[in-house]
Homo-oligomer: A and B are copies of this chain.
Amino acid sequence: VELREIGEFGLIARIRDRIGVLASQVYKGIGDDAAVSFLSPGMDLISTVDLLVEDVHFNRSLTCARDLGRKSLAVNLSDLAAMGGTPRFALISLAVPAETSVEFIDEFLSGFLEMGGNHGVSLIGGDTSCSPDRLFISVTLLGEGKREKLVYRDGARPGDDLYVTGTLGDSLLGLHLARNSSKLPSSQDEEFLLRRHFNPTPRVQEGRILAERSLARAMIDISDGLYSDLRHICEESHVGATVWAEQIPLSAAFRAKVPVPSDFQWQWALKGGEDYELLFSASPEKAGEILIQTRAWPCGVTWIGKIEPFSHGVVIRDRQGAVDPAILKGYDHFA
């Protein structure tokens, strides 16, 4: 069945039927001109939006609809995680070619609602349209937190330690494998790397703990690559930084599969966008508490460097010295 057969209102009715009972903080969900919901008492509103464009952010021949649904919410959850907020409500804007199958949309929604369910997020609204040829997905995520507890990009100070959750580069390598292999994944390593790209796990709980316990002073999620996102923190905080290349956490699967000698593996990991890990700075006084708090996290946390004065610049060092920034640039959509 193609979308054109059920029509726009058929699609909306289908989405609405999937929602079921409204969450406790939702008063009016899908089905009116706008949604009405409310925040917990004393909480501020956190808002973020992320856009996924077919043939720019994803390729329908490589990703399944369910993963795409999950990821379109996960990338937003990752932004909210980087503030240390609690996600609550989502709105989705979907432009879909009329010949798209209803099954594709159903699977997409299953993934989206599954990811939402994992993080207490309710789908409260959206808009649908046909698209002349490509799928466009824009998701708005709303959440809550106390403004004085949330963590921004501008709080880093010289002397702060720099940490990152999880491992870097897996996502880029997963995409590389998917693009360059027509076979199904043949090992657990490959499966892991593909999952890291097509079905990333946002660090929502981790970000919230760092914020609520005032452990992080500046935080960002890594979506453009570590070097590029570290520079965002440094620009907003008016500081510099040193990262020790050999400290960058790499997964065993990444080490086994990345097609470069071990001395250069970290370069891949740094360029790779879409890691959806958290990069944060913390006062050295918090080092002990960070160790204790994060010890049980499955993703782990790794110290990778220090915040420096602004004049120092943003420097990645390996055994040979400072690395040429030209090899570290992140992704620019218009370049």
Contact = CB atoms under 8 A, between A and B. Distances in A.
A4 B332 CA distance: 9
Given A51-B138, A56-B132, A333-B130, A34 B46 contact: yes
A79 interface: yes
Contacts of A93: 49-51, 93, 138, 140
A33 B82 contact: yes
Count of this chain's copies in the oligomeric assembly: 2
A334 B36 contact: no
Say which size band chain A's interface belongs to.
35 or more
Nearest to A88: B45
Given A8-B334, A82-B33, A334-B7, A38 B130 contact: no
Interface centre among A9, A96, A152, A221, by most chain B C-beta atoms within 10 angstroms, is: A9
A32 B129 contact: no
Interface of A: 3-4, 6-9, 11, 27-28, 31-39, 44-51, 53-57, 79-80, 82-83, 85, 89, 91-96, 98, 124-134, 136, 138, 140-143, 145, 147, 150, 152-154, 219-221, 236, 332-335
Nearest to A52: B129
Given A8-B333, A130-B334, A333-B8, A91 B49 contact: yes
Nearest to A4: B334
A27 to B, nearest CB: 5
17 contacts: A3-B334, A4-B334, A27-B44, A32-B236, A33-B80, A33-B83, A33-B153, A34-B46, A36-B150, A47-B140, A48-B91, A51-B93, A51-B136, A51-B138, A53-B136, A56-B95, A134-B134
Interface centre among A44, A57, A140, by most chain B C-beta atoms within 10 angstroms, is: A140
A153 B56 CA distance: 38
Contacts of A92: 49
Nearest to A9: B332
A335 B9 CA distance: 10
A37 B143 CA distance: 11
Contacts of A94: 51
Nearest to A98: B334
